Structure 1
C-alpha cells in the first residue's frame, strides 16, 4: 500500500509577515532532520507549496533523495485577509464555522476545497510513496476532510514545525494515518 506523507513546514521567522518568511536557524536544522527521516522511505515524488518556508523545509529532502520539487500553488496557506493580532480567536472562529472569513480572506471551506482538489489530483497522477509539503491550516483542513472530521481543531493546535503525517492510501481513500514526531 502506498504512503503519502503530509509535511508541515519547519520553524519560520515570525518577524516576516508574508509568504516570503524564511526559516529560522533552528528551522533549517530541523529541515535536515526531516531529510534524515525520509532517506529510507522510497519516495518517488515531492509536491510543495511555493512559499519560501516550505521550499526551505523540503529542499534538503529533495537534494538527499535526488528529486525535483513540483510546486503547486493550491498547496499555499490560507489567505487571512486583513492581518489579525489575536490569531487564536480568529482560528477558533474559523474552526467553529468553516464559512467564517475576514474581508479579502478565505474560509476554511474554501481552503479545504482548494487543497483537497489539489491532493486528489496529485494522488491520481502520482505513483508510489510521495511527500506533500504545505502549511498548518492547509494540511489541517485537508486532514479534516480525509479523515471525515476525525482530525480536529485540537489536532491543529498540537501540530509542530515541522510535522509529518503518514497516510496509508489506497483506492482513493485513507486507510490509516499517524502523526510522526521529527523532534
Structure 2
C-alpha cells in the first residue's frame, strides 16, 4: 500500500469510490474534496492505493485550515479521512495511518504535528485514530455536524547527538 497525491489520472478511481450514508454523516466525498483542493493551494488530496485500487482517501490542509484546531504554525490538518465502503474491515485505514507520519515528514518537512477533528458521535473513528497514535488532550470545538474532539500526532524530529548518532525525539 502507498499514499499518493491526487492527479487527474486517478479520476476513474475517484468515480468508483463508495461511501455509505453513515460515512457521509461525518465526511465529504473525495470528489467534493478534490474540487476544494484544486481551488485552494493549501489543501492536498491524498489517495491510499493498494495496487490500482483506491482504498482510502483524505485531505491534508495547511495554514488557514489548521487555525481553528491548533495554534501550532507548523501543524497540518488531516481531514475528510475515509475508507471505501467495500474495503472496510480489511485494515486499510490502520495501514494508512501507519504510513501517514513518514508521508508528512517527506512531503512537508516543516510540519511537526498532524491535527484532526473527529465528531464525538463517531466512536469507531476515535478508536482508529487512538490506535494510530493520535492523542486526545481534551480539546473540543463545535463543528457544522456537532461537537468535535481535537486530536494530534506529534512527529518525531530527527536530530544528531554529539557522537554523530541519529536519534528521534517526540515533540
Shorter-chain TM-score category?
0.3 to 0.5
- Scaled by the length of structure 1, the TM-score of the pair is 0.33
- Scaled by the length of structure 2, the TM-score of the pair is 0.35
Where is the helix percentage greater, Structure 1 or Structure 2?
1
Where is the strand percentage greater, Structure 1 or Structure 2?
2
